[in-house]
Amino acid sequence: MKLAVTVVAAAAVVSARCPPRPPVDVNVKCCADLAADASLKGKVYLPGTSAYTTRLGEYYSANAALAPSCMVLPTTTEEVSTIAALIHKSKCQFGMRAGGHSAFAGSNSVAAGVTVDFGYMNTTTYTAGDRTAAVQAGSTWGKAYETLDPFGVTVAGGRASVVGVGGFITGGGYSFHSNRAGFGCDTVRNFEIVLANGTVVNANAEENADLWRAQKGGSGNFGFITRVDMDVQPTNKLWAGFVGFQPEQVEEYYEAYIDFVDNMASDLASQTLLGVIANEGTTVTRNAIVSNSLGIVRPPAFDRTLSVPNVTETLFTDSINIIVPVFTGPTPLGLFSNWMVEMYASDIRILTFIDAALLRATAKMRAAAPDSVFQVLLELQPVTQSMVQHSTANGGNVLGLEAVVADGPAVMFLIALTVDTAANQDIILPLTIEFREEVNAYANSLGLNKNWKYAPYALGDQDPLSHYGEENLALIRSVSKKFDPTGDFQTLRRSGFKIPV
Ligand SMILES: Cc1cc2nc3c(=O)[nH]c(=O)nc-3n(C[C@H](O)[C@H](O)[C@H](O)COP(=O)(O)OP(=O)(O)OC[C@H]3O[C@@H](n4cnc5c(N)ncnc54)[C@H](O)[C@@H]3O)c2cc1C
């Protein structure tokens, strides 16, 4: 009893001299440990430093730019391995950023934890012998096209130069080459991946073939991708441009699109997508982006589209390296962007309904937020049987589109909302979702809703992987269990889409 009193008294003295320390924030400790690693010297950015602030300003969407406990920017696969091992050992929360062009909060950063940022891993190397380009995950497509241009080749990457490799390729990747080659991920021969425990693996048709297939559409669920080795496309030449239509031609515009899509299998190099843009809530503008990935000028596939009277045509042939930046135009950083997506059967009733509903919706948005500056951009782009057949021929992916196109082509319906301020976004975003749900209800009433979501365009709550089908989900789950047995990418990873439980 006496001893106990003495011990308690001693403890009281100690605590009077040093008040109990607050528990060390595990994520702050992770950052300190990363910063202390000699190989990562100068590559860990902490809050309050100008490097951190500048990098946070380089997100496409202000919603996505969550301020982490630190960012780490590796320059080599070995460094990624060091980072992974430390995250794994210390159970750090983390996010992954490649090009930083996903839009929703939690798509590519983490509010508390480490953002692993691949921005310095951005080179492309071409091996002429086997016609493969090794593209690092943190590159933008613009940079990859620029490197490949002198060799007269290109890869099936993004249609905007600013988009990153990591997010695009892990979600599918709709390129100017998709009708000839499938999605960008279908042209990947090999992924170099750093697993949760720091082990570096290759995933291709011969080695870790299950991981190779699951990674084609499986998002950021299996490891840190450091490099993708992609088949190059036969030429870097592209014939492409915008065709702007008059408001009176609205029906011909959609009829020409449907006609083109129905015949896409007859000209695999030609593609189109429709853009419908509402800026002020009072009018919409409509255009088509037409392209031929073999550089063929005005191919017959576009006879009908180009016979519709138009107001502008900016069609030209050049290398993809020149054309894609022109398409990209100014993509201002730091606005409040939200992307969301649906998939319907390709049917003119859906297209004309969307067009009319957009004008009603944007008028409502304008009235609700009269001082806002906003834009609603719709993109309507085909997903066809020929695209899916290329995927299968290249070893398959996990997107589960076979069922979606079984009865004919589908139309992917992207809504991209951009708003000037967070306060205006609070008003306009719910109205945008209301617009989306109005179109869904109409599609449901006609039995045309395909209930499939494309991850690179999906809003945070759209759970794209849950629409891939049971067989693909079973593969994704088993690959996750095999290559990430402690489930770090399901629990510690805070960014991007997870595997549905
Ligand atoms: C202007 C613009 C144009 C676009 N054009 C197209 C287009 O033509 N076709 C198309 O299909 N999409 C297009 N998109 C959508 C684009 O593909 C997605 O936004 C994509 O996520 C962006 O890639 P990122 O590398 O910038 O992604 P980030 O925002 O950096 O990352 C998104 C997610 O990708 C995963 N990821 C990133 N890096 C890695 C890595 N190293 N390892 C594992 N997983 C990783 C993670 O899950 C992460 O959460 C466009 C987007 C914009 C803003």
- What does the alpha-carbon distance between residue 220 and residue 165 come to, in Å, rounded to a whole number? 12
Ligand 1, atom 21: nearest CA belongs to which residue? Answer: 167
Report which protein residue has its CA nearest ligand 1's atom 13.
158
Instruction: Sketch the domain layout of the chain as residue ranges.
Output: 21-117, 124-234, 237-465
CA 194/CA 78 separation, integer angstroms: 9
**Per-residue pLDDT tens digits for 239-275:** 999 999 988 889 999 999 999 999 999 999 999 999 9
* CATH number of 21-117, picked from 3.90.70.10, 3.40.50.10320, 3.40.50.970, 3.30.465.10: 3.30.465.10
Specify whether the CB–CB gap between 144 and 325 falls below 8 A: no
Closest CA to 212 of 4, 467, 391: 391
Query: Which numbered atom of ligand 1 lies nearest the CA of 163?
Result: 26
Three-class SS of residue 336? strand
Q: Answer yes or no: are the C-beta atoms of 232 and 83 closer than 8 Å.
A: no
Is 158 close to ligand 1, i.e. is its CB under 6 Å away?
A: yes
Report d(CA 224, CA 165) in Å as an integer. 13
Query: What is the 311 CA–ligand 1 centroid distance (Å)?
Result: 33
Q: Between 3.30.930.10, 3.40.630.30, 1.20.140.10, 3.30.465.10, what CATH number should domain 124-234 receive?
A: 3.30.465.10
Q: Which of 223-237, 246-260, 342-356, 437-451 has the lowest mean pLDDT?
A: 246-260
Which ligand 1 atom is nearest residue 160's CA? 3
Token readout for 424 is 């205006």
Contact 60, 162 (CB under 8 A): yes
Locate the DSSP E strands across 402-454: 410-419
Q: In which element (H, E) is residue 225 found? A: strand 224-231
Distance 495 CA to ligand 1 centre (A): 12
Å from CA of 312 to ligand 1 middle? 30
| pLDDT at residue 445, as a whole number | 98
Contact present, 475 and 211 (Cβ < 8 Å) = no
Atom nearest to 457 CA in ligand 1: 15
Give 161 Cα–ligand 1 centroid separation in angstroms.
12
Q: Would you say the CB of residue 108 lies under 6 angstroms from ligand 1?
A: yes
pLDDT in tens, 59-117: 999 999 999 999 999 999 999 999 999 999 999 999 999 999 999 999 999 999 999 99
Q: Which residue puts its alpha carbon closest to atom 44 of ligand 1?
A: 220
Identical fold at 124-234 and 237-465? Answer: no
CATH classification code of 237-465: 3.40.462.20
Asked if residue 164 has its Cβ within 6 Å of ligand 1, the reply is yes
State if residue 98 touches ligand 1 by the CB under 6 angstroms criterion: yes
| Residue of 374, 370, 369, 378 whose CA lies nearest to 420 | 374
Q: Quick one: tokens of 46?
A: 């902490």
Q: Taking 80 as the threshold, does the pLDDT of residue 19 lie above it?
A: no
Residue nearest to atom 46 of ligand 1 (CA): 220
483 — phi, psi (to 5°)?
A: -100, -15
